[in-house]
C-alpha cells in the first residue's frame, strides 16, 4: 500500500474522535517562513520527503510520485501526529502570506481553533503579525508562537546564548503585548510563554526546533544549538530535535480540540437561539445532529469543478444530501465529500463527521462565507475583513 493511502486510512480512523482532532492555521508576516514551516510539518508527517522540505518545493514522496505523479502544494492538508502515545489528526489550513489577501486569512480563521503565529527572530513582530493575531483572536482562535530563523541570530548576528535569549524574550513580550491588548475583555489569558510550552523556536530552513518541553526531553541547551549551528552540524541538530515533532507536539498539547473549542466559538460567530437543539448539537460537535457547515473557501478543480472547503460544526456530510445554502432559495445536492491531502482531495464515501475540515463538491450556490445546513437556520455572522495598507514584498 502506498504511503499516502496509509495516511488517508489513518486520518479516517481519527476523524470520528473529536478529542484527537486539531484544526489549525499557520499565519505570519510575509517572508517570516510560513511556507518553509508548512513544508517541514508535511515532511514530518511523511507526506513529502525530508530533503525537499525547507526548499519550498513540496513534492510528494518518491513512492507516491511514481504511483500517481502528483505534487503537493501545501494548501490544505490533513496529517497525523503521535503525541502522548496517541495519534492525532491535524487539519492544517493554509493562509495567504500577503497583506492584500487579508480577507482570506480571516476566513481561514473561522475554520480553525488554533493559530500558529510565525515570527522572524531578526525582524520581530511586524504589522501583519498584528493583523493575523487580531484576526485569530476575534474569531476565538487560540494562538501559539513559533520564532523562526534563529540560525540567523547565530550565524549572521553572531549572538551568544545570553543575547539570543534576550532577543527571543523581547519578541515574546511584543507578541504578548499585542495579545493582551486584543483580549482585554476576555475571561481567559491567551498570552504565550516558554514555560507553558506555547512558544517554540528554531530554524524552518534547517529543520530544527526547540521548546521548553523538548529541551527537557532531549537535554539540548542553547549552548548546544549555538555549537552545532556554527560547526555545520545542522543535520545532526535536525535529527536530534526535529522541528516538525516539536511544533506538532505543541499543536497537539496546547491547541483546543473541537469539543473544547466549539462551545466557546459558536456563541461568538452565531447569533441563533442558544437554547435550540441546533445550538446544542454545534456545541457538542454532534455527528448525528443536523448538518451545519461553514464554507471558508471555494477553489476550482479541473475535474470536479468548484470545491467548497470549510468547517463542519455539526452532523455528518455525505454524498447525495440535499442541503440549504444561506442566501439562496434552492437546496444543493452534495456530489462528493472528502478531505484535503495537500493539493489533492481524497473522497470519502462514508462522509465526513462534525469537528473536521471537509471539502465538498456540488454546492453550486455556495460562496466563501455561506452557511450550508440540512435544516433552515440563522446563518453564521459574516466574516469581517480587517483591512490595512498593502505592504509589497521587497
Ligand atoms: P513566507 O512568505 O512566510 O511563506 O516565507 P517563506 O517560507 O517563503 O520564507 C521566506 C524566505 O526566508 C525564504 O527565502 C526562506 O528560504 C527563508 N527562510 C525561511 N525560514 C528560514 C530560517 O529558518 N532561516 C533562514 N536563514 N531563512 C529562512
Backbone angles phi, psi at 106, to 5 degrees: -60, -40
pLDDT above 70 (res 386):
no
d(CA 126, CA 234): 28
Any atom of ligand 1 within 6 Å of the Cβ of 34: yes
Tens digit of each residue's pLDDT (9 = 90 or more) over 126-156: 988 999 999 899 889 999 999 999 999 999 9
Q: How far is the C-alpha of 228 from the C-alpha of 222, rounded, in Å?
A: 10
3-class secondary structure for 210-244?
Answer: EEHHHHHHHCCCHHHHHHHHHCCCHHHHHHHCEHH
Distance 55 CA to ligand 1 centre (A): 9
Question: How much is the average pLDDT of 332-337?
Answer: 97
pTM of the model: 0.90
Place of cell 465538498: 360
pLDDT exceeds 80 at position 1? no
pLDDT of res. 390: 46
For residues 117 and 129, the answer to whether their CB atoms sit within 8 Å is yes
Distance 205 CA to ligand 1 centre (A): 6
Longest CA span, the chain = 66
Among protein residues, the one with the nearest Cα to ligand 1's atom 14 is 31
Task: Work out the pLDDT band at 300, boundaries 50, 70, 90.
Answer: confident
Three-state SS across 314-341?
ECEECCCCEEEECCCCCEEECCEEEEEE
Residue 67 has pLDDT above 50, yes or no: no
Band (316; pLDDT cuts 50, 70, 90): very high
Atom of ligand 1 nearest to the CA of 148: 23
Measured at the alpha carbon of residue 248, what is the angle toward residues 315 and 193, in degrees to the nearest 5? Answer: 105
- Helix residue ranges, H only, the chain: 3-14, 34-44, 62-68, 102-111, 127-138, 150-155, 161-182, 212-218, 222-230, 234-240, 243-254, 258-269, 277-283
Q: Is the pLDDT of residue 68 over 50?
A: no
Length of the chain: 394
Pocket test for ligand 1, best of 204, 206, 238 (most atoms within 8 A of CB): 204
- Per-residue pLDDT tens for 183-194? 888 888 999 999
Please state, in angstroms and rounded to a whole number, the distance separating the CA atoms of residues 370 and 212: 41
* The three cell numbers locating residue 373: 445546513
Residue 74 pLDDT exceeds 60? no
Reported as a single tens digit per residue, the pLDDT across 255-292 is 999 999 999 999 989 999 999 999 999 999 999 999 99
Percent of the chain residues topping a pLDDT of 70: 86
Whether residue 60 has pLDDT greater than 60: no
Ligand 1: residue of 25, 33, 230 to mutate (most ligand atoms within 8 A of CB) is 33
Amino acid at each position: 500500500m502506498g504511503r499516502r493511502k496509509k495516511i488517508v486510512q489513518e486520518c479516517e480512523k481519527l476523524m470520528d474522535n473529536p478529542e484527537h482532532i486539531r484544526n489549525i492555521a499557520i499565519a505570519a508576516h510575509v517572508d517570516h517562513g510560513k511556507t518553509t514551516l508548512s513544508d517541514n510539518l508535511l515532511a514530518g508527517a511523511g507526506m513529502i520527503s525530508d530533503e525537499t522540505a525547507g526548499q519550498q518545493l513540496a513534492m510528494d514522496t518518491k513512492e507516491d510520485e511514481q504511483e500517481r505523479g502528483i505534487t503537493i502544494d501545501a494548501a490544505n492538508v490533513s496529517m497525523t501526529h503521535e503525541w502522548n502515545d496517541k495519534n492525532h489528526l491535524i487539519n492544517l489550513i493554509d493562509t495567504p502570506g500577503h497583506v492584500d489577501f487579508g480577507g482570506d486569512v480571516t476566513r481561514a480563521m473561522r475554520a480553525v481553533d488554533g493559530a500558529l503565529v510565525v515570527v522572524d527572530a531578526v525582524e520581530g513582530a511586524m504589522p501583519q503579525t498584528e493583523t493575523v493575531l487580531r484576526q485569530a483572536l476575534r474569531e476565538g482562535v487560540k494562538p501559539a508562537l513559533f520564532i523562526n530563523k534563529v540560525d540567523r541570530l547565530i550565524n549572521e548576528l553572531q549572538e551568544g546564548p545570553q543575547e539570543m535569549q534576550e532577543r527571543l524574550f523581547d519578541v515574546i513580550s511584543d507578541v504578548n503585548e499585542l495579545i493582551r491588548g486584543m483580549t482585554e475583555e476576555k475571561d481567559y489569558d491567551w498570552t504565550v510563554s516558554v514555560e507553558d510550552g506555547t512558544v517554540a523556536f528554531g530554524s524552518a530552513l534547517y529543520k530544527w526546533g526547540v521548546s521548553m518541553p523538548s529541551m527537557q526531553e532531549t537535554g539540548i541547551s542553547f549552548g548546544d544549538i549555538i555549537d552545532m549551528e556554527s560547526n555545520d552540524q545542522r543535520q545532526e541538530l535536525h535529527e536530534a530535535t526535529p522541528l516538525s515533532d516539536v511544533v506538532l507536539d505543541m499543536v497537539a498539547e496546547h491547541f483546543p480540540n473541537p469539543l473544547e473549542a466549539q462551545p466557546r466559538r459558536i456563541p461568538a460567530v452565531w447569533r441563533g437561539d442558544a437554547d435550540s437543539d441546533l445550538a446544542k448539537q454545534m456545541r457538542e460537535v454532534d455527528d448525528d445532529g443536523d448538518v451545519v457547515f461553514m464554507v471558508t473557501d471555494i477553489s476550482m478543480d479541473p475535474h470536479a469543478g468548484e470545491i467548497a472547503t470549510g468547517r463542519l460544526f455539526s452532523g455528518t456530510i455525505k454524498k447525495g444530501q440535499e442541503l440549504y445554502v444561506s442566501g439562496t432559495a434552492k437546496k444543493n445536492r452534495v456530489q462528493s465529500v472528502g478531505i484535503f491531502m495537500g493539493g489533492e482531495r481524497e473522497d470519502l464515501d462514508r462522509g465526513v463527521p462534525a469537528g473536521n475540515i471537509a471539502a465538498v463538491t456540488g454546492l453550486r450556490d455556495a460562496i466563501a462565507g455561506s452557511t450550508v445546513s440540512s435544516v433552515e437556520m440563522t446563518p453564521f455572522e459574516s466574516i469581517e475583513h480587517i483591512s490595512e495598507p498593502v505592504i509589497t514584498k521587497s
